[in-house]
Structure 1
């Protein structure tokens, strides 16, 4: 079998390597799915060369928490609180989703992510109404070419049965899904367990679900600390009392957790996914970015729901950064002080979007940074365009200026999936139209109360 070689020349490599930030002009050689060399002025014959002049060469961005199946319903939740979202999206829309609807939403969402430079995504899929729904979600992820963790969740058949102090255990079908679709760990799409946790299910059910995830040998993700649910249920403390905290647990949000909660999570090696835009909108509380960094809790960023926010991670980076700065500036102001320096720097957020995002998903041994031997998940950001140029700080260009239209090239496991600013998937226009037609039919079936809210 011949070796495919790609040489990325002349770009500014921006990455963490062994804990230190690298920002310099280097070439990168990719052989098959891995990075084989990084140095100046690489010159070899018989190679596919990509010019990166005037571009940032970065690890692919990592979205650690998103519900991809919702992609076809953009704007439906733009004015919703969390409770309205639970009732509208999980109560009204999810039960009407067929396997084809899930396939289309997942595929469109994954391609949207790729287009914006996201090479890895945690798909938290809580619309598992049947095995066919699960198969459709998995097939869409694989068809897109993205690297993904498929978080096998609960059915979306009744929000009241599954998300309000639920007494239903996680579907046992998880065992069959893993056996049928995830027999190998060496695939782009792997499996995780997306459980309700102690804020959405009975504590004993949460315990059973965690034990199932551990029996399956999977990472286990749940929502925690969302608005009043954090202090009401004290989920982290209760899981600790049961001896259930551990490095295989990933928590989304964490807005209203206490300092003691953050200490417990950090001490047990748990991870956190922060989704700042939707948290600010839906009343979950202020993003926990600063608290997570203060307690050395490994954390990544996520989009969460494109029904309410944009689908790129650039907006999440900027929102997380400026919100945390505002929180700390307000504290200084209330003390009568002017801030002498910013509370959070662009480098901290870039780290969360790359290597710490990989750590959050337990994948940092092979993605999250540009290093020899790691998987070739690489993006090129054009910083010679209106909106990014002239660039005097590659970090700020990535975190504060770049958008999806600045993403020139995306490579996942050595496969070029976007080049010259154009995604390589050939039928995106037809996919969008099909999603729109199917979603419109579902929206037409909504209850009158929910329909009014979406007008």
Structure 2
């Protein structure tokens, strides 16, 4: 039996039945949380590795519920871009220039980036699958990183006329398999070869968007996911269209596709009637607020997602090509945006709001238990609950920057004050992967070298092929009406 005993931490469990602790110990046995309480006795610590967490806050491992991890090698390239720039730069240009080894390097380094930032759970929406080799490389990169999560196998064609302008995404790309049926067989093969039902990394399906594919095709892809017992991660209602917005919920409902195994991403242009359809379906909603506001994809819908889903939203950072992987910063941003959104009616009437309707605990739920729920694993992780797996982050609050921190409400400190630099210790499934320094289970320098080599290659072929957005830009009527 392998035992770890975390001593003297302030503990934020995100389990209302247990509550929080100003000071407590956490006993872990064979990767499972066994007990949380003050002063766990000496007998329990026999043969245990002791972690002294005095001055630290223990929280559940963070979750990023939506990330295109394959873009890790082009970090920050789209920090000043809008959605047409993203589509032209990544989906039409760069997607076709990637090699399988670039997919591996990005997913491997992307998973490590998560762990470095205290993100123990990731929903990867992998929509650059040009052929079977790309799928295998993507899965192997994530698995090698040691992050928990969901690999979302992209059904979006990188090879056909995906956009309304009629240009094929991989015209002239000899690597591309120009059919679509192979994606179904590859999904079945990848699922069987790489994934068990209880693995650290689980299998999911990322169907085509209804904005770009016939409903009948999308239905087939949902059916495939259910055949394979795969979670569904689905871009939805993220395109601004005239006359009241998109109608994805109508279409999904008419085809009987909504359900608790579906995670809907963005939902920024969802009208009230569509929200009513979602209500009671069991589907979850993920916001990617930083990217949505930057790229012109609408205002994050935390208010609506809380009202019309069982537990409220989860959060994703979407793309490191635009934003960072600091999920605590993301939670803080969404919390304040949501507060502003709810208070706007007061400002319009030149009055002051009297109450806080969205709390730091709400925000921490968005990036812990709700993220686990989006991935379909909230029964085993997402909160510090005895019986769940030990995905735990210790945030170091020692030092002048955090002196005087509020011991009576550690949750408020986590969301209002902490960030990635506070991440001291990270456990995934009871395994210590970071403790007071670099990641322990890998060679970080080798991972950086692999990603930088990929970065250099991609920039070289980008320049050889007209840059990130070749001129004149391809028209995108759907997004530029």
Structure 2 matches for 1:34-433, cutoff 5 A?
34-42=32-40, 43=42, 44-154=45-155, 157-158=158-159, 160-161=161-162, 171-172=183-184, 173-182=186-195, 184-228=196-240, 231-298=244-311, 299-392=313-406, 393-433=409-449
Question: 1:122 deviation in Å?
Answer: 0.5
Superimposed CA distance per residue, residues 184-213 of structure 1 (whole angstroms, 9 cap, x where no aligned partner) = 212111100011231232222111111111
**Equivalent in 424, 448, 455 of residue 466 of structure 2:** 448
Question: 1:240 deviation in Å?
Answer: 1.1
Q: 1:11 to 1:23 in 2, by over 3 A?
A: same
**CA separation in 2, counterparts of 1:18 and 1:170?**
46
Q: 1:159 to 1:350 in 2, by over 3 A?
A: farther
Question: 1:75 deviation in Å?
Answer: 1.2
What is the TM-score normalised by the length of structure 2? 0.88
**CA separation in 2, counterparts of 1:58 and 1:163?**
45
Q: 1:300 to 1:51 in 2, by over 3 A?
A: same
The residue number in structure 1 matching 2:173 is none
**CA separation in 2, counterparts of 1:274 and 1:243?**
24
**CA separation in 1, counterparts of 2:165 and 2:308?**
30
Range moving further from structure 2, 154-163 or 97-106:
154-163
Range moving further from structure 2, 304-313 or 209-218:
209-218
Range moving further from structure 2, 212-221 or 27-36:
212-221
Question: 1:23 deviation in Å?
Answer: 3.6
**CA separation in 2, counterparts of 1:156 and 1:437?**
27
Range moving further from structure 2, 333-342 or 426-435:
426-435
Question: 1:263 deviation in Å?
Answer: 2.7
**CA separation in 2, counterparts of 1:419 and 1:206?**
44
Question: 1:227 deviation in Å?
Answer: 3.7
Question: 1:156 deviation in Å?
Answer: 6.2
**CA separation in 2, counterparts of 1:372 and 1:297?**
23
Q: 1:10 to 1:344 in 2, by over 3 A?
A: same
**CA separation in 2, counterparts of 1:251 and 1:297?**
13
Range moving further from structure 2, 422-431 or 171-180:
422-431
User: Structure 2: which 5+ runs fail to align?
Assistant: 169-178, 472-481
Secondary structure in 2 aligned to 1:448? coil
Aligned length in residues: 450
Question: 1:162 deviation in Å?
Answer: 7.1
| Root mean square deviation, CA, Å | 2.2
Range moving further from structure 2, 111-120 or 172-181:
172-181
Q: 1:120 to 1:338 in 2, by over 3 A?
A: same
**CA separation in 1, counterparts of 2:275 and 2:53?**
41
Secondary structure in 1 aligned to 2:383? coil
